[in-house]
Chain A
Amino acid sequence: MKKLAHYLVLCAIALLCVFPFWWTLVTAVSTEGNVFAFPPTFWPKAPSLDNFAEVFRVIPLLTFFRNSVFIAACTVLWKLVLCSMAAYPLARMRFRGRKLVFGLILATLVLPSEVNFLVNFITVTKLSLVDTYTGVILPNVVTAVAILLLKQAFEEVPQDLIDAARVDGASEWTIFTRIMLPLIAPWLATVGILTAVEAWNEYIWPSIVMSKPDEFPLSVGVLYLRGTFGSSTRVIAAGTILTILPTLAAFLFAQRFFMRGMDGAVK
């Protein structure tokens, strides 16, 4: 009885979370009516994929898609390289200025980064990076959170391994690339997946930097649908679904990375 009540509450909240997605999907596969039909349709009648075909026909969706993949892939790659490089000495080396550097990185957590975009826009303009993917990607490739996570990972590697390599005369770079990085691979995967979803979903910054529709990522391009189709909400809904699908697939595939510790802690 108690269990039943528990499930009912869970279902009610889940419905609230998932319903907008469901309704958009139903609209996207409907062949007539639209979102604003009264009463609205909550179950598809005669579903078809026509609206999706219409999206592909009118909007360069594949181009948007490719742009998003490119931006996400580059952001992930550069973030993993730069942040792991920064995290390694912070975790495993003693050097002068270590505390200061670490403090500065922590400070970026407290500073409200949302207010940076105005000056970053000036910077990107001055560096002639407007309308380039470098301009979209570069400001996002180093984050304090990634450095902190990877620092934690490096700290867990046994000191013996490093000492042994040093005795063998390995350079710091060799130790880093041959020993440390492979050992923290699961953490690199975690940071990589989180970054990929973040980069895929980023909306404001790319819409500031990019002005040519052909270069838009999906997150920005999807709003373009709204302008083009105006009242044809079925097509807008189809475009919306196409935008969500990759993130949703990635999320379901990598669920345990997103909710790290949620399953493992009950030992």
Chain B
Amino acid sequence: MSRHTLAAWLFLTPALLVLAVFSFWPVGFGSYLAFTDYSLIRPTHWVGLDNFRYIFENEMFVTGLRNSVVFLLMVPFVQVGALALAVLVNNQLPGIRLFRAAFYVPVVTTVSVVGIMWGFMFHEQGALNYVLLLFRLVDAPVGWLSHDGIALFAIMFVTMWRGLGWYMVMYLAALQAVPADMQEAAILDGANRWQRFWKITVPMLRPTIAVCTILSVLAALKAYQEVDVLTQGGPMNSTFTALYYAYDQGLKHLKLPRALAASFIVSLLCIGIALLCLRWLKPKHR
């Protein structure tokens, strides 16, 4: 054992211990418990796929899973929006830093406050309906959070509102790493703005687009905090997401095995989609 080995492990041990207890253990133990009838008071028995059978026969989980898939619709909007925003603020106009800050403020706001503010905004007599009525875009106030066909989309919008600035910063950093001389060479060759964007900028941003898209897909599948602070799954269970079902079952109703089975499914979905995205988005060989 080299002099380094002992020192290195001593340095690493505290962090690894925390990771082991709160990151690795929950994945392993949680996957196991999803196949049992675990409760805090009885001895545990292996029940095979019972929990999975239960949740898939349960309307709330199936709705949640479907809603989680619907949530993926926001991914292209967030990504295209964030990239466009990054392009818009990637210049030296006066006051541009103020705009960057404004776009980032929602990112650093706690979800509970976001829930309260957007609860106000979405209220039937809230600012949103007022503006829409003012410009005659709707005839009657819309029940953004109280109509079961709309509430989920309202939540998706809030998630987008919160996420846009974060992805904008990622794209901005990547944009600024695009070498200026490539752009200059293209200008000399007579390429217009649009051509330069598609032929130079987008290919250069490919790795960032890949990473951001994956993160955004995973975030959409794992959405549940916004649901908790805005609608708590209602109206008529229309805003249950798969992970919110897990949260609701596990911590509000203390049905941990069912909750773990649900989160097991979400995990599988996340890992599967992450792998798929990685394959699709891997830089092509040139």
A168–chain B nearest beta-carbon distance, Å: 16
Sample (17) of A-B pairs whose CB atoms are under 8 Å apart:
A23-B127, A24-B117, A38-B130, A40-B130, A94-B4, A95-B4, A95-B5, A97-B9, A112-B218, A115-B267, A117-B251, A123-B22, A142-B15, A223-B112, A243-B113, A244-B109, A247-B109
Interface residue from B15, B97, B228, B267 paired with A112 (Cβ < 8 Å):
B267
B145–chain A nearest beta-carbon distance, Å: 13
- Decide: B22 and A201 in contact? CB cutoff 8 A: no
Q: Does B185 contact A (CB under 8 A)?
A: no
- Decide: A259 and B100 in contact? CB cutoff 8 A: yes
- Decide: B14 and A6 in contact? CB cutoff 8 A: no
- Chain A interface, DSSP helix/strand/loop, else mixed: helix
Q: Does B93 contact A (CB under 8 A)?
A: yes
The interface of chain B, by Cβ under 8 A from chain A, is: 1-2, 4-5, 7-9, 11-12, 14-16, 18-19, 21-27, 29-30, 33, 40, 85, 88-89, 92-93, 97, 99-106, 108-113, 115-118, 120-121, 123, 125-127, 130, 161, 164-165, 169, 172-173, 176-177, 218, 221-222, 224-225, 228-229, 243, 246-247, 250-251, 256, 259-260, 263-264, 266-267, 270-271, 274
- Decide: B101 and A252 in contact? CB cutoff 8 A: yes
**In the complex the two chains form, what is the Cα distance from A123 to B89 in whole Å?**
45
B271–chain A nearest beta-carbon distance, Å: 7
- Decide: A118 and B259 in contact? CB cutoff 8 A: yes
Interface residue from B26, B165, B243 paired with A120 (Cβ < 8 Å):
B26
- Decide: B2 and A95 in contact? CB cutoff 8 A: yes
The segment out of A44-52, A55-63, A101-109, A183-191 that lies at the interface is A101-109
Q: Does A76 contact B (CB under 8 A)?
A: no
B107–chain A nearest beta-carbon distance, Å: 8
- Decide: A118 and B30 in contact? CB cutoff 8 A: yes
Interface 1/0 per residue, A143-165 and B, CB below 8 Å = 00001000000000000000000
A66–chain B nearest beta-carbon distance, Å: 17
User: Do A89 and B8 contact each other (CB < 8 Å), given the known contacts A201-B111, A236-B116, A262-B169?
Assistant: yes
**In the complex the two chains form, what is the Cα distance from A114 to B219 in whole Å?**
10
A residues 82-132 in Cβ contact with B at 8 Å: 82-83, 85-86, 88-90, 93-98, 101, 104-105, 108, 110-123, 125
**In the complex the two chains form, what is the Cα distance from A101 to B13 in whole Å?**
11
For B263, what are the chain A residues with a Cβ–Cβ distance below 8 Å? 115, 118
**In the complex the two chains form, what is the Cα distance from A21 to B85 in whole Å?**
20
- Decide: A36 and B125 in contact? CB cutoff 8 A: yes
Interface residue from B7, B24, B102, B113 paired with A93 (Cβ < 8 Å):
B7
- Decide: A222 and B267 in contact? CB cutoff 8 A: no
- Decide: B173 and A208 in contact? CB cutoff 8 A: no
User: Do A82 and B102 contact each other (CB < 8 Å), given the known contacts A115-B266, A219-B112, A223-B116?
Assistant: no
- Decide: B169 and A259 in contact? CB cutoff 8 A: yes
For B164, what are the chain A residues with a Cβ–Cβ distance below 8 Å? 17
For A40, what are the chain B residues with a Cβ–Cβ distance below 8 Å? 125-127, 130
User: Do A86 and B108 contact each other (CB < 8 Å), given the known contacts A36-B123, A95-B8?
Assistant: no
Interface residue from A117, A123, A226, A240 paired with B21 (Cβ < 8 Å):
A123
Q: Does A228 contact B (CB under 8 A)?
A: no
Q: Does A181 contact B (CB under 8 A)?
A: no
**In the complex the two chains form, what is the Cα distance from A227 to B128 in whole Å?**
23
A155–chain B nearest beta-carbon distance, Å: 15
The interface of chain A, by Cβ under 8 A from chain B, is: 3, 6-7, 9-10, 13-14, 16-21, 23-24, 27, 35-40, 42, 82-83, 85-86, 88-90, 93-98, 101, 104-105, 108, 110-123, 125, 138-139, 141-142, 147, 172, 176, 197, 200-204, 208, 218-220, 222-223, 226, 233, 236-237, 240, 243-244, 247-248, 251-252, 255, 258-263, 265-266
- Decide: A122 and B19 in contact? CB cutoff 8 A: no
Other A-B contacts than A105-B19, A116-B22, A204-B247, 7 sampled, CB-CB below 8 A, are: A13-B103, A14-B103, A21-B117, A40-B126, A104-B19, A115-B26, A259-B104
- Decide: B22 and A139 in contact? CB cutoff 8 A: yes
- Decide: B169 and A6 in contact? CB cutoff 8 A: no
- Decide: A115 and B105 in contact? CB cutoff 8 A: no
- Decide: B113 and A219 in contact? CB cutoff 8 A: yes
User: Do A86 and B11 contact each other (CB < 8 Å), given the known contacts A111-B27, A116-B30, A261-B176?
Assistant: yes
User: Do A247 and B92 contact each other (CB < 8 Å), given the known contacts A36-B125, A116-B22?
Assistant: no
- Decide: B30 and A203 in contact? CB cutoff 8 A: no
For B251, what are the chain A residues with a Cβ–Cβ distance below 8 Å? 117-118, 121, 208
- Decide: A118 and B260 in contact? CB cutoff 8 A: yes
**In the complex the two chains form, what is the Cα distance from A153 to B111 in whole Å?**
31
User: Do A17 and B105 contact each other (CB < 8 Å), given the known contacts A23-B120, A38-B130, A259-B169?
Assistant: yes
For B101, what are the chain A residues with a Cβ–Cβ distance below 8 Å? 251-252, 255
